[in-house]
A and B are shown apart, each in its own frame.
Chain A
């Protein structure tokens, strides 16, 4: 990796006596898009707020463009933030919101007008500049928030679950828009989310976090196809966790630990000998069909393309299950 623009080393973050983030380290290259992904309460927003300077680090260091910013107040860090609710100042127009950072820096009015107009044009919100946040759509507010964070020349933009307030269609559109803006302005993005689709679709790398501990860092494909532990395997996508007996019957594996099989690798009536099962639930999702089957006391999920699913498949029907050869992961049992 070239010299990282943002470097976090051995970061511990504590609320009082309770440490909530443990030994977090990460190097982010210039122009890279990294996402911090994890369930609620895992510490991802806490890390973002520590980088921003709103929470103090208990130990460790944060370096931005080679400069140690660990103890700097938030107002001197030069990182941009896009908040979950955008935090656009409701009393100001879009223009005033975007110009805020330049006014703080006491830039001349002519320069402010020029730069705000330029960034608004590039962000596709030139027509909205006179409007108050309450008069704009979620997508437009999002663009204003990004423009506001970028205008002072911040090299790193922190995104705190910025798409969670949007409806699903706009959310997909905004993912692309954020990527387009990143390509346009070349900023480095640090994106916090609990939505794996968001993280996988936008990021160069994803950091999976659980209880303040890093679980795995890698591209979306690596995380999905080569998970390093049971948590990542279950958290990224779906996975059937098979008990020893069923695992032996389906995969032939007799090993300590739990065998995980992705639903798309669970085959139904594949034409060769399988494990007898009974269909208990069918979810038709258009392109995909999810079928839940009962094998003894266990439930196994299989997914397939709609055209692969027999049209007469029904609940209560007996089927046989098998697993695509070699398509499983085995991880040692860990206390839950």
Chain B
């Protein structure tokens, strides 16, 4: 028994050492290097020089301006659509709610590079919508959709997932008896919505708006694909500066972006800390859907809801349909006249078309394994003990959340473009492993958030019961704790894998011939005029969406449960 205990202790200390090395080498060092590169040259401060260079660049100024107005506009439009969506799903009775739920959930499975490609496929120069519009307005330029307005349109419908996930959940926390109480006192529906419901969901609404600002600020794939030559945002310009061999300017801009994101997160945490309005009811009554009694208003509400649903579903439907169409029909037909499995066979039967998919799966899996190994080891320690070491771990794990991917990417490039002592004097830039390491670092905050909740939810008496029956630490973890957190760990792994399948910002900076990922392949195919390439991109998109769907449905089942029923009064 004593021998086993010593062995467990040694294993624990080794794992702790490995974790510290991993975080210091691949997170802390890159950030310090970026900071140093941005502000120092051969030991002397040179902040003025860089800011002067940056302010002289017309493209940098334009990108900053574009990012600013795009973020403000997106926050407004996404808020409008998002709130309408939540009202349609969780407050008013709308016919076909099950279909609408699926339609509005589209951004959950249709995001990043895949979604941007889908929108371009639908509205772009050879897009179906463009073909139809040109039939009506022959003078319409084929690239009418490309530019800032196209980015705004796409982001408006792609970033509502936060509203779909969080605001809906907040709406379900509204105690329906408070609505009924207001109604019994003669309050109008608008008054109830404004004075009773809105204050309860307000903190979540703020948080969701800040999430939109966050996402829009670091937006990369959508402007890259839909923005065209004249519309660039800050992440793109950082990539350009890095390619132009100005890592100092890239690092400075990435840090600037990082500080902006940090302030958003501090604000979000402040809102979170202020808490939400929790009613005193011990048994809150779930909200019931309200029928709109005015027939005209009801028709108008249904009309707008279904128009939105159509906008959501259209790109996905076209991508799925054309992925089964002969390549020749892409860009020439409004809807495929024949169907084939040949595109899927080409991608899945191996060879060049399969390689990016295989690379992304390998790297995603590796990132999941790395991330889960680190977090499954560290989170129970962080939950159980409160000391300087666990606080440091906590901060370490959450750093990637406040550090934009482009900043991490720049850091990894600057740290590992020369032999580095921390990795045995190896040069990791250009290797296969650099990208999965970046993915894993990127995924840590999400995994910690998921797993922390899971570990905190475990009744400590399970562990005590196992101890009282003589079970040692490792045995208890394997037989008692792991089965309890396994569903959450699987979900966190699934989410991460899903995200990494089409991850763009890190990939754009760190990919090389050894690990060309799916997102880069999709982007390259998008730029190609070859219909065969376009067909392969569509297959990639469908496969990614299918996987995402499985993850999202599992998550929905775990978190939200059943929906509200309708009040027929």
Interface on A for B, CB 8 Å cutoff? Answer: 52-54, 73-81, 83-85, 87-92, 100-101, 103-105, 148-149, 152
Contact = CB atoms under 8 A, between A and B. Distances in A.
B468 A79 contact: yes
Given A76-B1, A91-B484, A85 B461 contact: yes
Interface residues of B, number: 18
Contact of A105 (B461, B464, B467, B470): B470
A84 B464 CA distance: 12
Residue from B1, B464, B465, B466 having most chain A Cβ neighbours under 10 A: B465
B459 A104 contact: no
Given A85-B461, A87-B459, A148 B469 contact: yes
A87 B467 contact: no
Residue from B1, B469, B472, B484 having most chain A Cβ neighbours under 10 A: B469
A103 B479 CA distance: 11
Given A76-B1, A104-B475, A89 B462 contact: yes
Contacts of B461: 83-85, 87
B484 A52 contact: no
A90 B484 contact: yes
Contacts of A149: 468-469
Interface string B430-463: 0000000000000000000000000000010110
Given A87-B459, A89-B480, A76 B470 contact: yes
Contacts of B484: 90-91
B284 interface: no
A91 B462 CA distance: 11
B303 interface: no
18 contacts: A53-B467, A53-B468, A54-B467, A74-B467, A77-B468, A80-B468, A80-B469, A81-B468, A84-B461, A87-B461, A89-B480, A90-B484, A91-B484, A100-B471, A101-B470, A104-B475, A105-B470, A148-B469
Contacts of A92: 483
A203 B479 CA distance: 36
Given A90-B484, A91-B483, A104-B475, A75 B459 contact: no
A147 to B, nearest CB: 12
B430 to A, nearest CB: 45
Given A87-B459, A104-B471, A74 B464 contact: yes
A52 B470 CA distance: 11
Nearest to B468: A81
A149 B470 CA distance: 11
Nearest to B473: A75
Nearest to B467: A74
A281 B459 CA distance: 44
Contacts of B483: 89, 91-92
A152 B465 CA distance: 13
B462 A74 contact: no
A52 B471 contact: no
A100 B472 CA distance: 12
A100 B466 contact: yes
A76 to B, nearest CB: 7
Contacts of A91: 483-484
Given A89-B480, A90-B484, A91-B483, A75 B464 contact: no
Given A90-B484, A104-B471, A52 B466 contact: no
Given A87-B459, A90-B484, A81 B464 contact: yes
Given A90-B484, A91-B483, A81 B470 contact: no
Contacts of A105: 470
A91 B1 CA distance: 26
B236 to A, nearest CB: 48
Nearest to B482: A91
Contact of A52 (B464, B479, B480): B464
A104 B468 contact: no
A116 B484 CA distance: 23
Given A89-B480, A91-B484, A81 B465 contact: yes
